[in-house]
Amino acid sequence: MFDILLNAAKLALSEDGRKSVSAIVDFIKRSPEWQKNICVLEAKIEQSHQEHAALLAGLTATKLESMGYTGEGIHAFQTAYMELVRNAFEHGCSSGQAIRVTIEVSHVYVSVTVENAREHRFEAALELALRQTALSGDPKSSRGRGLVLASDLADDFQPVAPRGVKAVFYKDRVVVESSHFSERALITVRVDGGKYNPSLNRRVNAALSKALKEADTILDISAFRESLTLATGDVIALDIVAKGIGRGLVVMIDSGAMNTAAFLRDAGLLIATSWPEALKKLEERV
């Protein structure tokens, strides 16, 4: 990883820099470091010049697009980024102070670390837990929603002691699509992408938990031939819950995924390699 501190980021905080934002943008884009596939941009942004945070977000989005990141992934990064810097400016930065933003870009992931001003400690894990609890009690509340949204959008979300938080977004996005079939009270949860993404289990389990509360469910992981890193223990637990409330769960896999088939079968899960077979197993269960 090339660790750089672009002079343009410093310039953006100066009086001269504020008079020539377009020159700053051009400087950063032309920087040999910024043009590399692996680079780091660090900047201190004063509370009185919060617009510079948006400038860095836009520059990063342009670079990610050129590196083949999906529109969904870029949007997730930008949204979480702005929520984190907004939270830092509001709660972790007084007049005349500055927050620190560090953006890491590579062909595998992009991350943003946002740190409060020196005098403002921030225990990210505790704050996130408190806000999640508050929102569960009052889902319509807007307070604290930004931090929760950022953690949901990020593939990895971790505290940076003693006053920051880091959000990571992988280029290989986890794609989980749920479809309802009203004529049979059936929901399919299809997973496509993100085989080695650390948020895979969390996103699949969240979709499964929601689906099984409503109807029988087919978990379609046939896009992965072998070695899908799903936490089978979690899926087994959900299968037990489903049976307890009278729901059925079938995991549909690729016909050549013999190791996956044996593993899931040994775990007691219903498996299928085609839609007709999956539907038949749900019917036989009834």
Residue pLDDT, tens place only, 76-88:
999 999 999 999 9
The pLDDT assigned to 76 comes to 97
Identify residue 51 by its one-letter amino acid code: E
Q: What is the DSSP letter of 169?
A: E
The pLDDT assigned to 242 comes to 87
Cα–Cα distance, 219 to 231 (Å, whole number)? 13
Cα–Cα distance, 209 to 197 (Å, whole number)? 20
The pLDDT assigned to 5 comes to 41
Q: Where are the domains of the chain?
A: 7-170, 176-285
Identify residue 237 by its one-letter amino acid code: A
pTM: 0.83
Q: Which two tokens stand for residue 144?
A: 């604290």
Classified by CATH at the fold level, domain 7-170 comes out as Heat Shock Protein 90 (3.30.565)
Residue segments in the chain with a per-residue pLDDT below the cut of 50: 1-19
Q: Helix 124-137 and helix 145-153: axis angle, to 10°?
A: 110
> Residues with Cβ < 8 Å from 71, sequence gap 6 or more?
none
Beta bridge pairs of residue 249: 217
Residue pLDDT, tens place only, 20-70:
556 666 767 777 777 777 888 888 888 888 888 888 899 899 999 999 999
Instruction: Say which CATH class 176-285 falls into.
Output: alpha beta
The pLDDT assigned to 78 comes to 97
3-state secondary structure of 87: helix
3-state secondary structure of 195: coil
The pLDDT assigned to 229 comes to 55
The pLDDT assigned to 262 comes to 84
